[in-house]
């Protein structure tokens, strides 16, 4: 298990990673999720031994690895652009680390190419591959020596949207099939959800919330985290209480705010919230409404495409409680 305790990193006295503690249990994939510039790459580089740690401890299975040079940590790294050797074939790229360790093995290379779905690509050069194929080669190369920890820095960010989604699913399956313990940093919550089991949300150098993805998603620690996780709106005060009551929300206790997903509020003639349509916009599937609800203010809602809500009309809204999450604050 990788374990970090109070790890800080600074560049010329400016703190980039500020007292980060986290754990990656064996065989699990942790996504460190945060906006650009929050210190994700710096954290990853510190774990890899590429950046000196100002304070704190990095251990693996109880051993203090923080003082070891990069190549003695037993970790592998994979970056956004894969960084393949352009003059080497796919097979030679994948076998690179095996040759370095004087353990070349064509059978192992073939096994890795099969793992990432690239049988038959052994003799190709990187320049003849698509972006997604290149990332698969980079992944096979990183997994070649069975690292005890794989560190991934935005591994899918350079790919276009459709491919990114497919490769995210593949990445998850490949990591699980290989039993790899991994830490991936990303700014994209969808990518984190698709690939990882656990999440650490990072902001301004600090981890603000961590846990299994479902737990973090079900109860974001604050409004900023909720919005970063993909919630569309955060309602506070009376608005939060009113919408919770309308949803028949039985989750106990007062909340500081309520995170609301897109399409959580639906026009329904029996709905408990009464509002007035401010604007309506038809999409091919739905009618998107902005509704002024008393005591709540303006909210986004949806209606069937074949209804004809227009500005000024009264509308009742139903709340889907599974599309809201309480924010309890700290
Ligand atoms: P992220 O990967 O989350 O986008 P980084 O870890 O790259 O963020 O950067 C965190 C902060 O550290 C940023 O303010 C960035 O400008 C700064 N930083 C990163 N690398 C260096 C460096 N080599 N020298 C000085 N400052 C750096
Ligand atoms: Mg980065």
In this prediction, residue 47 has a pLDDT band, given cuts at 50, 70 and 90, of very high
Whether ligand 1 lies within 6 angstroms of the CB of 16 is answered as: yes
Q: How many angstroms is it from 94 CA to the middle of ligand 2?
A: 24
**Closest residue by CA, ligand 1 atom 6:** 39
Q: Kindly state the greatest CA–CA separation across the chain.
A: 76
Write the pLDDT tens digit of every residue in 80-110.
777 899 999 999 999 998 898 888 889 999 9
Whole-number Cα distances in Å, 159 to 66, 151, 165, 167, 191: 33, 18, 9, 9, 12
Write the pLDDT tens digit of every residue in 243-284.
999 998 877 778 899 999 999 999 999 999 999 999 999 999
Residue 317 has pLDDT above 90, yes or no: yes
Q: 19 versus 328: which is more confidently predicted?
A: 19
Nearest CA to 239 out of 323, 292, 319, 297 is that of 297
C-alpha of 73 from chain center: 25
Report how far residue 11's alpha carbon sits from residue 41's, in angstroms, rounded to the nearest whole number.
13
Report how far residue 131's alpha carbon sits from residue 137's, in angstroms, rounded to the nearest whole number.
10
| Nearest ligand (C-alpha, residue 15) | 1
CATH T-level fold of 2-223: Rossmann fold (3.40.50)
**Domain boundaries defined on the chain:** 2-223, 224-327
Neighbour-count burial of 40, counting CB atoms closer than 10 A to its CB (0-12 exposed, 13-18 middle, 19+ buried)? buried
Q: How many angstroms is it from 40 CA to the middle of ligand 1?
A: 8
Residue 330 confidence (pLDDT): 54
Whether ligand 1 lies within 6 angstroms of the CB of 38 is answered as: yes
Write the pLDDT tens digit of every residue in 174-215.
899 889 999 999 999 999 999 999 999 999 999 999 999 999
Collapsed DSSP state (helix, strand, coil) of residue 10: strand
Q: How many angstroms is it from 45 CA to the middle of ligand 1?
A: 11
Whether ligand 1 lies within 6 angstroms of the CB of 40 is answered as: yes
Whether ligand 1 lies within 6 angstroms of the CB of 39 is answered as: yes
Mean pLDDT of the chain: 93
Nearest CA to 128 out of 166, 78, 93, 171 is that of 93
Q: 79 versus 286: which is more confidently predicted?
A: 286
| Nearest ligand (C-alpha, residue 154) | 2
Collapsed DSSP state (helix, strand, coil) of residue 311: coil
Q: How many angstroms is it from 154 CA to the middle of ligand 2?
A: 7
In the chain, which ranges are continuous DSSP H helix?
40-48, 90-94, 96-100, 106-115, 131-143, 161-178, 189-195, 213-218, 223-229, 237-246
Q: Which CATH superfamily is domain 224-327 in?
A: Nucleic acid-binding proteins (2.40.50.140)
């Amino acid at each position: 298990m990788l374990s970090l305790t109070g790890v800080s990193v600074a560049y010329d006295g400016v703190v980039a990673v500020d007292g980060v503690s986290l754990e990656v249990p064996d065989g699990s994939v942790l996504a460190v999720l945060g906006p650009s510039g929050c210190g994700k790459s710096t954290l990853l580089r510190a774990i890899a031994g590429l950046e000196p740690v100002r304070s704190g401890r990095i251990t693996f299975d109880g051993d203090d690895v923080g003082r070891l040079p990069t190549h003695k940590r037993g970790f592998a790294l994979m970056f956004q652009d894969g960084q393949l050797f352009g003059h080497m074939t796919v097979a030679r790229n994948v076998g690179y680390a095996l040759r370095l360790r004087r353990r070349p093995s064509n059978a192992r290379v073939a096994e890795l190419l099969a793992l990432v779905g690239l049988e038959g690509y052994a003799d190709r050069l990187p320049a003849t591959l698509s972006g997604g194929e290149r990332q698969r080669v980079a992944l096979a190369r990183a997994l070649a020596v069975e690292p005890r920890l794989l560190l991934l820095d935005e591994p899918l960010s350079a790919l276009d949207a459709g491919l990114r989604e497919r490769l995210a699913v593949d990445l998850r399956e490949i990591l699980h099939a290989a039993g790899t313990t991994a830490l991936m940093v990303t700014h994209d919550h969808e990518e984190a959800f698709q690939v990882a089991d656990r999440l650490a949300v990072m902001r301004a150098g600090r981890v603000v919330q961590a846990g299994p993805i479902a737990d973090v998603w079900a109860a974001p620690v604050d409004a900023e985290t909720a919005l970063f996780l993909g919630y569309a709106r955060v309602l506070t005060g009376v608005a939060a209480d009113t919408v919770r009551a309308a949803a028949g929300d039985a989750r106990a206790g007062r909340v500081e705010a309520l995170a609301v997903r897109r399409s959580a509020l639906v026009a329904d003639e029996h709905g408990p919230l009464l509002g007035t349509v401010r604007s309506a916009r038809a999409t091919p599937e739905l009618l998107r409404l902005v509704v002024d609800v008393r005591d709540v203010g303006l909210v986004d809602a949806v209606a069937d495409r074949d209804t004809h809500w227009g500005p000024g009309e009264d509308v009742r809204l139903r709340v889907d409680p599974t599309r809201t999450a309480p924010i309890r604050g700290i």
